Amino acid sequence: MIYKIISKKEFSAFVDALVKSNSSFGPQQVDTNSKGNAVYQFKPVHSVGDIAFDYTATNSSIKHFFLPFREELSRFKFHRDDWKQQINYEAEPIVLIGLRPCDISALNILDDVLLNGHFPSPYYLAKRKNTFIIGIDHLPLPDCFCKSMNHHVVTTGFNLFCSDIGDDYYLSINSSKAFNFLKAFETRDPNEEDNCLLTERRKLIQNSFQTDIDVTGLPSILDIEFDSPVWEKWGNKCLNCGTCAMVCPSCYCYSLTEKFDLDLKGASREKRLYSCNLVDFAVVAGGHNFRPKNGDRLKYRYYHQHRGFAENGNQQICVGCNRCGRACLSGINPKDVINDLRMEKESCLTCVSSSPDKR
């Protein structure tokens, strides 16, 4: 990694040049919500003026650039009683500007899941390789808990990362592509003062977190509390709408559907993002549902998010952006669910009173 300092004015010129010559996406205000707060989304941008650099957090995550809601995996062309299969992996280069560290961490987790293992996904890889990512650090929202998940800093997975140090940006350059682009602009090497400012900035961010979730030993607690009444309690609130999975930056479950073209000359196999909270997620042929209750499905989502599955080395895939908590229509958020689960475990008086650190 190479570190450089660039003035904010020069940085704008750099971003402008990049935006004008590539298909680019950045945060924009699209609406205000009922409380009067701005609603941001990643939208196509055409000049640096379109980008809201000081945005808080987007409602929907950037995973949809890599895992679209609907994606055609293969196409069949029919010819009499025979057919031919066509597969297209290609992706066009895009630039994503203004990603938060948690968003980039989520991409790293998706890399882990989708590019490792026995069957790496070429569809994802093509999109990932053709994306130029500029990350920017930010002060957390009151309900962000990425520090608890240790995803408030990021060291890989981006091309360029900017930290705001007053009049300048402190750049972490992670790719030769970014380095080459920056050659045309005025940058300088960081001096002692810049390093101090960066440390200060990082400390400020670290100390600004208001929400903290204790996740130590959470995987084993999830295992032990598999039949806990907490799941039924929160499950009864759940509406099975699947919103949490749609806005989550690291949820990747999907379903495959196939349909004929209208002219019946072809058919396409399509991948659609799915949610484990939807009722028919675990239905098998014949109609048996392996997870018939709301609580079962909600538990399963927390299991995936905070325990992790064998496919990615039992790593937690939650990054702590709390998009699911903000988007949930019935007010279920990870902080309350996890605290409830932990309380359930620790409210057992005999265990707590005999533990060595309590007198």
Q: Are 242 and 176 in contact (CB under 8 A)?
A: no
Among 1, 87, 139, 204, binds other proteins (CB under 8 A): 87
Angle, helices 229-237/334-346, rounded to nearest 10 degrees = 160
Q: Which one, 97 or 245, has the nearer CB to other proteins?
A: 245
Q: Which of residues 81 and 189 has its CB atom nearest to other proteins in the complex?
A: 81
Minimal distance, residue 304 CB to other proteins, in Å: 7
Q: For CA atoms 278, 281, 286, 292, give the dihedral sign.
A: negative
| Residue number, 49 or 120, with CB nearest to other proteins | 120
Report the residue from 22, 220, 257, 339 that binds other proteins according to the rule CB under 8 A.
257
Shortest reach from residue 237's CB to other proteins, in Å: 21
Binder of other proteins out of 228, 282, 326, 344 (CB under 8 A): 282
Q: State both tokens at 134.
A: 């500029």
By CB under 8 A, residue 348 contacts other proteins: no
Residue 325 found at the interface with other proteins (CB under 8 A):
no
Among 4, 147, 152, 291, binds other proteins (CB under 8 A): 291
Which amino acid is present at 233? K
Residue 286 sits in the site that holds other proteins (CB under 8 A): yes
| Number of residues near other proteins (by CB under 8 A) | 51
Interaction of residue 69 with other proteins, rule CB under 8 A:
no
**Residues 6 or more apart in contact with residue 74 via CB below 8 angstroms:** 85, 86, 87, 268, 269
Q: Cα–Cα distance between 235 and 153 in angstroms, integer?
A: 33
* Residue 112 near other proteins by CB under 8 A: no
CA distance 181 to 178: 5
Kindly state the smallest distance separating residue 301's Cβ from other proteins, in Å: 10
**From CA 9, how far away is CA 169, in angstroms rounded?**
10
Residue 255 one-letter amino acid? S
Among 83, 93, 150, 204, binds other proteins (CB under 8 A): 83
Report the b/e string of 272-297 with b at 16+ CB within 10 A. Answer: ebbbbbbeebeeeeeeeeebeebbbb
Indicate whether 296 belongs to the interface with other proteins (CB under 8 A). Answer: yes
**The binder of other proteins chosen from 36, 90, 119, 263 (CB under 8 A):** 119
Shortest Å, Cβ 103 to other proteins: 21
Quick one: which segment of 31-39, 189-197, 249-257, 338-346 binds other proteins (CB under 8 A)? 249-257
- Taking the CA atoms of residue 329, residue 327, residue 211 and residue 252 in that order, the dihedral angle to the nearest 10 degrees is 120
- Closest approach of other proteins to the CB of residue 275, in Å: 10
| 307 is a contact residue toward other proteins (CB under 8 A) | yes
Q: Binding to other proteins by residue 300, rule CB under 8 A?
A: yes
Tell me which stretch binds other proteins (CB under 8 A): 146-154, 182-190, 204-212, 305-313. 305-313
Binding to other proteins, residues 200-239 (CB under 8 A): 223, 226
259 binding other proteins? (CB under 8 A): yes
- The span of 51-59, 142-150, 196-204, 269-277 binding other proteins (CB under 8 A) equals 269-277
Footprint of other proteins on this chain (CB under 8 A)?
73-74, 76, 78, 81-83, 85, 87, 89, 113-114, 117-122, 223, 226, 252-260, 267, 269, 274, 276, 281-286, 290-291, 296, 300, 303-304, 307-311, 314
